Amino acid sequence: MSGQPSCLVQNLSHYIDLTDHDRELLATLERSPRDYSEATEIHSGGDRNRDLYVVKQGWLFSYTDLPDGRRQIVKIHHPGDVIGFPDIAMKHMTTNLRSVEPVTLCPFPKSALETIFTSSPRLSALMLSIALRDQVVFIDLLRVMGRMSAMERVSHFVLDLLARLRITNKDMTDTFRLPLNQSQIADYLGLTNVYISKTFKRLQDDGMLSRDGQQITLTREEELKELVDFEDRYIEMDTSWFPGG
């Protein structure tokens, strides 16, 4: 193995201890990393379904458009994330993938999953768990979109981002960089860019958060969590039932 650690190994190590066998397996699956510049369309819905990606660097998002141009961003991807899991069940990609800033991705073929599933029960269980955990996260988001006001949606949004960033960065404080513009946030939360602006201002006036360029600080995180009944699904994941290494 090279001196540079595999993206996938780095990511999955956050959840369980990987055996040497697992590490080697993952290393062989991974293709060489590839860079994309900012605001680049990496794949489109309807494309024949080939690769999954692990994010090595930078933020991206998956989205779908309606025929009349309305857009829904369905997932924001950070370093360490696996992109494309749900599409495994489909013949074609169901979403478009776009970089927010310059990114580095490690593609690996669908077939790699087969290898994992046949040769490492422990890794299989982890992959499945991550997919199911994501489903719970979608369900939480559905609740947000279905029943929460703009104020609550934005609050949930920043709390969720922070919780996710804390998976890979243990000593993350209450401040983080948010490289999305307000139109993108609007497309994620089902609102308009104008209303995102107004809502952020209100949250700031209420002293819940402060902004400085792309930096966001949650000054009253606990209060925000209570406001939106926030549950951290990233911490809560159950790996206790996994087969041994």
Q: Report the partner that residue 1 touches, choosing among a copy of itself, DNA, none (CB closer than 5 to 8 A by kind).
A: none
Structure tokens at 47: 């494309």
Least distance (Å) between residue 102 CB and DNA: 11
Q: How far apart are CA 233 and CA 245, in angstroms?
A: 24
Interface residue with DNA among 59, 157, 200, 230 (CB under 7 A) is 200
Q: How many CA atoms lie within 13 A of 151 on its CB side?
A: 10
Local structure of 82: helix, strand or coil: strand
User: Coil, strand or helix: which one is 134?
Assistant: helix
Q: What separation in angstroms does the CA of 104 have from each of 1, 35, 59? A: 20, 4, 9
Draw the binding track, 135-164, toward DNA (x: CB under 7 A; -: no contact).
Answer: --------------xxx-------------
- By three-state DSSP, how is residue 111 classified? helix
CB nearer a copy of itself, residue 145 or residue 165:
145
Nearer to a copy of itself, 20 or 147 (CB): 147
Pull the structure tokens for residue 41: 């369309």
Least Å distance between CB 139 and a copy of itself? Answer: 5
Least distance between a copy of itself and beta carbon 12 (Å): 14
Residue 130 binds what, of a copy of itself, DNA, none (CB under 5 to 8 Å, by partner type)?
a copy of itself
